[in-house]
Chains A and B, each alone.
Chain A
Amino acid sequence: MLKGYISPYNATVVQKLLDGGAVLLGKTNLDEFAMGSGSTDGVFGPVRNPWSYSRQYKEKIVPRSDSEPENSNWVITGGSSGGSAAAVSAFTCFAALGSDTGGSTRNPAAHCGVVGLKPTYGLISRHGLIPLVNSMDVPGILTRCVDDAAVVLGSLAGHDPKDSTTVQDIFQPFALPSLTDVSKLSIGIPKEYHAPGLSSEILAVWSKAADLFKNAGAKVVEVSLPHTHYSIVCYHVLCTAEVASNMARFDGLEYGHRSDMNKSTESMYAATRREGFSDVVRGRILSGNYFLLKQNYEDYFVKAQKVRRLIANDFVKVFGSGVDILLTPTTLSDAVPYVEFIKEDNRTRSTQDDILTQAANMAGLPAVNVPTALSGRGLPIGLQFIGRSFQEKQLLTVAKWFEKQEMKYLLCIQILQISGYTHHQKDEFQTSSGERC
């Protein structure tokens, strides 16, 4: 739909980076309109996870058959900001921007072994971010370590007069203190996040992380977020409804692809949208319109909004009971091979993959993925920390402490990754542009 489109203005986050002296290398690939959890549905093709070419992954995969070409076992990056995560993971750039509506920054961050930060809703301006779900979108930050994420956050956060959903509180950029004493911290482990389908490896890593905090003196408690099971359904309804509204602006008249049909305005719009949108986007628009029909409005849309309040209240209750940070897994498993991933359709995959990341978007809370370990297949696994609203400093401080405990491990991983990568041809990677910033 936006092929050949050149934006006449910079997004606020992009302008802030430019004003801060950043060198923007380019745009990265993603799922079309950020709808998806694999970065496989973009117009430019699927994004390949750089870890697919690391030595430890190649050594561990079992070739399916002799007749299969050697490079068909590559894994997905996760999505929808997969290109950005791949770019950071492959040491192509210092940091990258993504968007996070249902986990679209944290999911690829976990699969690519990088830090993915979703800030509090209202902290960073959305002016220039193509809206998917206005009440849940935030620009996401992808970096290789937590300190870098804090640096980028420092230059992006703050009130923007061009985005009325940014809060007016003054934001002070911060440097992260090096935490040495975690005994005053209370870490919550929500039991509902032990979702069906969670791989045993991730469960083990999660338990190990909880033990790490306990052994260091922090108070680790099991908490309950009873409506977690419904957050994905609620998201499904609210997302499609808001998408139906937001995608209405793409009619070909002022920008973007325009069909040659000229009989009437409506038929031109219909033809343009038929030609310009992929199946995934069209499916969501139609579902959204269905949920917004007069006869369905109360039963679906308003009901979903009520469930949203219940989910947000769950978090308020837990944080109100003295818990500082929640520790959860980010994904159900490590990255799957592309050929496996495409066996299910986009909506099913999104439903499965967003289950652990989605609730933070519902409640507008900040969350960060910290790469933690490697799976048995040599692919990264990450854990997610969820913090209180606008308490990014506390969240990132704890994340930094945790990262330091894993630091030695991470450094080895990244060295192994580079050595695997340099032997591979560079043109295997997708780094061409998609509209994002």
Chain B
Amino acid sequence: MAAARPLRHRSDALPARVDDVTNRFRWRAMRALGLCRWLLGGTVRALGPGAATASSAPSPQDGVTVEVLDHLERLALVDFRDAEGVERLREAVRFAERLREVNTEGVEPMDSVLEDRCLYLREDDVTEGSCTAELLKNAREKVEEYFVAPPGNIPLPELEERDTFLKEKLPH
């Protein structure tokens, strides 16, 4: 079931002079179209900057904003390192856009090629273990039988405070 997503209204999607009759009509048509889509339960994509009308698909690059890049860095705990890294992501997204050309109406997603077989469960018996010493050998920091981690519950610093390439992309 596609979750209905609220239509986001952004002031920069509104035409500059709303008192212009033609523009007002166009703006109302956009809202109506968006509202129709929402009511039909279709996927409404967030209007990105530069999206002209609701009927033309927003450019995929609209999804790659600094906020999204920051969000990705936090989720993945991996950094972009430089402009090349960001460009790599953009290329990857551009490439993936080709999937839209395929008509997948009525097709179920496939998780595994073995989907027509039963996944079995083995008996709930302890068959192996007692290998604490072996497992601890590979850890760099440990105390007795514990792996030692730095303090948790401290979130990653915000973009402004992090030492990351994305800081340069922040609007000043």
Binding site for B on A (CB under 8 A): 5-6, 8, 121-122, 135, 161, 164-165, 167-168, 227, 230, 233-234, 236-237, 240, 244, 251-256, 258, 261-270, 273-274, 277, 279, 282-283, 285-287, 289-291, 293, 295-296, 298-300, 302-310, 312, 345, 347, 351, 363-364, 389
* CA gap between A363 and B113 in the complex, in Å: 6
In angstroms, Cα B92 to Cα A345, docked, is 12
If A282-B79, A286-B89, A287-B89 touch, whether A8 touches B131 (CB-CB below 8 Å) is yes
Instruction: Please tell me which one of the listed residues B71, B138, B150 contacts residue A263 in the complex, with CB atoms under 8 A apart.
Output: B150
A122 cross-chain contacts in B, Cβ below 8 A = 113-114, 117
Indicate whether B21 reaches chain A with its CB closer than 8 angstroms.
no
A264-B77 in contact (CB<8A): no
Report whether B139 and A347 are in contact in the complex, using a CB–CB cutoff of 8 Å. Answer: no
Within 8 A of A (CB), among B57-81: 63-64, 68, 71-73, 75-81
**B143 to nearest A CB, angstroms?**
13
Judge whether B149 and A268 touch: CB under 8 Å: yes
Question: Contact between B110 and A309 (Cβ–Cβ < 8 Å)?
Answer: yes
Task: Give the CA-CA distance A412 to B29 in the complex, in Å.
Answer: 74
Taking Cβ atoms with an 8 Å cutoff, the residues of B that contact A are 2, 43, 45-46, 63-64, 68, 71-73, 75-81, 84-85, 88-89, 91-93, 95-96, 98-102, 104, 107-114, 117, 119-120, 122, 131, 134-135, 137-141, 147, 149-152, 154-157
Return 16 A-B CB contacts under 8 Å, by A number.
A8-B131, A161-B122, A165-B114, A167-B114, A230-B102, A234-B99, A236-B96, A263-B154, A264-B151, A265-B152, A267-B157, A268-B149, A287-B92, A304-B99, A347-B92, A389-B113
Q: Measured between C-beta atoms, what is the minimum distance from A299 to chain B in Å?
A: 7
Q: How far is the CA of A308 from the CA of B91 in the complex (A)?
A: 21
Say yes or no: A286 contacts B99, CB within 8 Å: no
Among candidates A227, A270, A308, residue contacting B79 with C-beta atoms closer than 8 Å? A270
Task: Report Cα–Cα, A309/B8, bound state, in Å.
Answer: 34
Q: Which 10 pairs, one residue from A and one from B, show the smallest C-beta to C-beta distance?
A: A364-B113, A305-B109, A264-B154, A255-B138, A309-B110, A306-B104, A287-B92, A8-B134, A306-B107, A265-B152
**B149 & A290 in contact (Cβ 8 Å cutoff):** no
Can you name the residue of chain A whose Cβ is closest to the Cβ of B82?
A279
In the complex, A363 Cα to B139 Cα: how many Å?
38
Asked if residues A290 and B72 are in contact (CB atoms below 8 Å), the reply is yes
In the bound complex, do residue A295 and residue B46 qualify as a contact, i.e. CB atoms below 8 Å apart? yes
Alpha-carbon distance A234/B95, docked complex (angstroms): 10
Q: How far is the CB of A10 from chain B (nearest CB, A)?
A: 12
In the complex, what distance in Å separates the CA atom of A227 from the CA atom of B107?
Answer: 14
Cβ-defined partner of B99 (8 Å) among A265, A307, A309: A307
- CA A264 to CA B153, docked complex, whole Å: 8
A293-B68, A305-B110 known, 9 other contacts, Cβ within 8 Å: A6-B137, A8-B135, A122-B113, A164-B122, A168-B120, A258-B141, A265-B151, A282-B80, A286-B72
Q: Could you tell me if B114 and A286 are in contact, using CB atoms closer than 8 angstroms?
A: no
Q: Which one, B73, B104, B154, contacts A310 given CB within 8 A?
A: B104
Give the residue of A254, A290, A298, A306 whose beta carbon is less than 8 angstroms from that of B92. Answer: A290
A255 to chain B, nearest CB (A): 4
B113 touches A121 (CB 8 A): yes
**A residues within 8 A CB of B93?**
287, 290
| Cβ-defined partner of B85 (8 Å) among A237, A265, A286 | A286
Q: Are A256 and B138 in contact, with the CB atoms below 8 A?
A: yes
A254 pairs with B135, CB closer than 8 A: yes
Chain A residues within an 8 Å CB radius of B77: 251, 266, 269-270, 273
The chain A residue with its CB closest to the CB of B5 is A295
- Residue in A270, A305, A363 whose beta carbon sits within 8 Å of that of B111 in the complex: A305
Which of B76, B98, B120 has the largest number of chain A CB atoms within 10 A? B76
Residue of B nearest to A273 (CB): B78
Given A8-B137, A167-B117, A270-B77, A264–B89 Cβ distance below 8 Å?
no
Is A308's CB under 8 angstroms from B154's CB? no
Do A254 and B139 touch across chains, with their CB atoms under 8 A apart?
A: yes
B99 CB to nearest A CB, Å: 5
Q: How far, in angstroms, from A309 to B120 measured CA to CA in the complex?
A: 23
Which of A121, A256, A266, A282 has the largest count of B CB atoms less than 10 A from its CB?
A266
Tell me, in angstroms, the Cα distance from A62 to B80 when the chains sit together: 40
> What are the residues of chain A within 8 A of B98 when measuring CB–CB?
230, 233
- What residues on A are CB-neighbors of B84 within 8 Å? 279
Docked CA distance A254–B141 (Å): 8
Select one of B71, B73, B137, B150 contacting A265, CB under 8 A: B150
Task: Write the nearest CB–CB distance from A293 to chain B, whole angstroms.
Answer: 7
Let me know if A236 and B78 touch, CB within 8 A: no
What are the residues of chain A within 8 A of B151 when measuring CB–CB? 263-265
CA distance A8 to B139 in the complex (A): 12
Contact check: which of A244, A262, A303, A351 meets B150 at CB < 8 Å?
A: A262
CB within 8 Å for A300 and B75 given contacts A135-B111, A295-B45, A295-B46: no
Q: Are A264 and B63 in contact (CB under 8 A)?
A: no
- Beta-carbon contact of A300 and B141 below 8 Å: no
Q: Which residues of B contact A312 (CB under 8 A)?
A: 110, 113
Contact between B71 and A293 (Cβ–Cβ < 8 Å)? Answer: yes
A254-B139, A304-B99 known; A135+B63 contact, CB < 8 A = no
**Chain A, residue nearest B151 (CB):** A264
